[in-house]
């Protein structure tokens, strides 16, 4: 299979839908345990009435019929985004023999056209009061699904999804063989003062209801949706407080225990959204763990970097290499190739050689 970005190929979302349909028609359920099948389907059924956007529904992709089954991969998307982020990598993982599970994070992906007048599509996003019953509970639930998987079990997460993957590993230390963390979220970028102010504002009554446009491309959110991007255009500061509370819990847990599976961390050197300092501290905390590798992307790498839909009309020179590296690590345990990086960080001392 050639690169995923060729313009003459069938759109990724269409290929995913076709793959899922084919798998449903010809794939024997015995390929995975009955426990995994029923538990995943129960999760999907629980979301049946949510009126989710295309690209935001949970997806399961089984390997092609003639492909030897090797295991199951669980991939978590980022904040305000959807499973669509992982479609390209998921397709390649399935071709490598993995059943791929793409859940949707709590409160994410509501379809705008079904909203009542004046209704906010972000109203269902978790806040600091219910992150345990939403983000943490979903991670625990899907760990139960993965515990019933046959073969290797691997996990990946981007941004908030990276925080989900970290929590999942700490909740079930012996469950996963490998974990890919792409720009995992601990706090926002910008230094201690910015992080402090953001946290205080997110927990201040009235101010916490303030609307925030998401991401560096927020001004073109409507245009991106028309072009096929799936996700939320706005959220409220209280929803950031929910993410922050979840990430703080991860930091407390990491102070007491280490990540057990083989881990690959990837983040842009100047990521404009997540705190690279906190990711550096995660790497330093695991100093001496031989199967934890980390590397930096170029300084101009954006935060949203996993799919063409997130970068409409823009070249993505990093994507083919990032995709090869993600599949190579998750499917085969091959860490990203690296070169020495010219920076002053303690743990993130290498650059990804894509």
Question: What's the pLDDT tens digit per position in 91-147?
Answer: 999 999 999 999 999 999 888 765 555 567 778 899 989 999 999 999 999 999 999
Contacts of 42 (CB under 8 A, 6+ apart): none
pLDDT at res. 193? 45
Question: What's the pLDDT tens digit per position in 11-34?
Answer: 555 545 544 443 443 333 345 778
Banded pLDDT at 218 (limits 50, 70, 90): very low
Instruction: Return d(Cα 150, Cα 53) in angstroms, integer.
Output: 31
pLDDT at res. 256? 93
Give 156's strand partners. Answer: 75, 180
Structurally, how many domains does the chain consist of?
A: 1
Contacts of 102 (CB under 8 A, 6+ apart): 58, 59, 60, 61, 75, 77, 83, 86, 87, 90
Token pair in block for residue 78? 């980022």
Which residue carries 């990837």 as its tokens?
266
Does residue 2 fall inside a structural domain? no
**CATH number of the domain that residue 248 is part of:** 3.40.50.1820
How far are the Cα atoms of 3, 90, 93, 143 from residue 326, in angstroms, in the given order? 13, 10, 9, 21
Does residue 83 fall inside a structural domain? yes
Does residue 281 fall inside a structural domain? yes
Does residue 293 fall inside a structural domain? yes
Instruction: Return d(Cα 53, Cα 47) in angstroms, integer.
Output: 12
Banded pLDDT at 8 (limits 50, 70, 90): very low
**Mean pLDDT across 201-224:** 53
pLDDT at res. 348? 95
Token pair in block for residue 88? 């390209």
Contacts of 136 (CB under 8 A, 6+ apart): 167, 246, 249
Banded pLDDT at 320 (limits 50, 70, 90): very high
Question: What's the pLDDT tens digit per position in 262-295?
Answer: 999 999 999 999 999 999 999 999 999 999 999 9
Token pair in block for residue 208? 């916490």
Is-contact 166 261, C-beta < 8 A?
Answer: no
pLDDT at res. 3? 32
Percent of the chain with pLDDT over 90: 62
How far are the Cα atoms of 17, 49, 302 from residue 278, in angstroms, in the given order? 37, 38, 18
Banded pLDDT at 215 (limits 50, 70, 90): very low
Q: What are phi and psi of 173, to 5 degrees?
A: -60, -30
Banded pLDDT at 220 (limits 50, 70, 90): low
Domain that holds residue 318: 12-332+343-352
For residue 272, the tally of other CB atoms under 10 A from its CB is 15
pLDDT at res. 191? 61
Q: What are phi and psi of 76, to 5 degrees?
A: -100, 130
Does residue 123 fall inside a structural domain? yes
pTM: predicted TM-score of the whole model, two decimal places? 0.87
Dihedral class, residue 333 (left if φ above 0, else alpha if ψ from -120 to 50, else beta)? left
Q: Which residue has the higher pLDDT, 221 or 78?
A: 78
Instruction: Return d(Cα 110, Cα 78) in angstroms, integer.
Output: 15
Does residue 242 fall inside a structural domain? yes
DSSP 133: I
Banded pLDDT at 306 (limits 50, 70, 90): very high
How far are the Cα atoms of 86, 88, 222, 238, 261 from residue 235, in angstroms, in the given order? 22, 26, 15, 8, 33
Query: Could you give the 3-state DSSP secondary structure of residue 109?
Result: coil
Does residue 154 fall inside a structural domain? yes
Question: What's the pLDDT tens digit per position in 145-179?
Answer: 999 999 999 999 999 999 999 999 999 999 999 99
How far, in whole angstroms, is CA 50 from its chain's centroid? Answer: 20
The secondary structure element, H or E, covering residue 351 is strand 350-352
Is-contact 55 85, C-beta < 8 A?
Answer: no
pLDDT at res. 217? 44
DSSP string, 281-300: HHHHHTTT-TTEEEEEEPTT
Does residue 1 fall inside a structural domain? no
């Amino acid at each position: 299979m050639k690169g995923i970005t060729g313009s003459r190929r069938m759109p990724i979302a269409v290929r995913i839908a076709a793959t899922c349909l084919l798998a449903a028609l010809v794939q024997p359920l015995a390929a995975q345990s009955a426990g995994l099948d029923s538990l995943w389907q129960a999760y999907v059924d629980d979301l049946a009435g949510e009126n989710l956007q295309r690209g935001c529904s949970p997806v399961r992709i089984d390997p092609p019929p003639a492909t030897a089954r090797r295991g199951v991969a669980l991939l978590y998307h980022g904040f305000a985004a959807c499973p669509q982020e992982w479609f390209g990598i998921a397709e390649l993982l399935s071709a490598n023999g993995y059943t791929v599970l793409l859940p949707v994070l709590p409160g994410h992906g509501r379809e705008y056209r079904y909203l009542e007048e004046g209704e906010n599509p972000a109203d269902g996003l978790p806040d600091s009061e219910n992150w345990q019953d939403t983000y943490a509970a979903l991670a625990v639930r899907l760990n139960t699904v993965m515990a019933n998987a046959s073969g290797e079990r691997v996990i990946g997460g981007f941004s908030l999804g990276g925080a989900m993957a970290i929590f999942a590993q700490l909740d079930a230390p012996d469950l996963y063989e490998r974990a890919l963390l792409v720009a995992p979220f601990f706090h926002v970028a910008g230094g201690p003062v910015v992080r402090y102010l953001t946290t205080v504002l997110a927990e201040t009554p009235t101010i916490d209801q303030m609307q925030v446009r998401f991401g560096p491309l927020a001004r073109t959110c409507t245009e991106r949706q028309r072009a096929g991007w799936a996700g939320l255009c706005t959220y409220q500061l209280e929803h950031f407080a929910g993410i922050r509370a979840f990430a703080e819990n991860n930091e407390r847990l990491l102070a007491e225990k280490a990540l057990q599976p083989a881990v690959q961390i990837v983040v842009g050197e100047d990521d404009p959204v997540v705190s690279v300092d906190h990711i550096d501290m995660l790497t330093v905390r695991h100093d001496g763990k031989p199967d934890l590798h980390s590397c930096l992307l170029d300084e101009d790498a954006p935060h949203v970097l996993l799919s063409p839909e997130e970068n409409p009309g823009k070249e993505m020179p990093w994507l083919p290499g990032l995709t090869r590296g993600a599949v190579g690590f998750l499917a085969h345990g091959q860490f990203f190739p690296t070169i020495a990086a010219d920076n002053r960080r303690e743990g993130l001392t290498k650059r990804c050689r894509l």
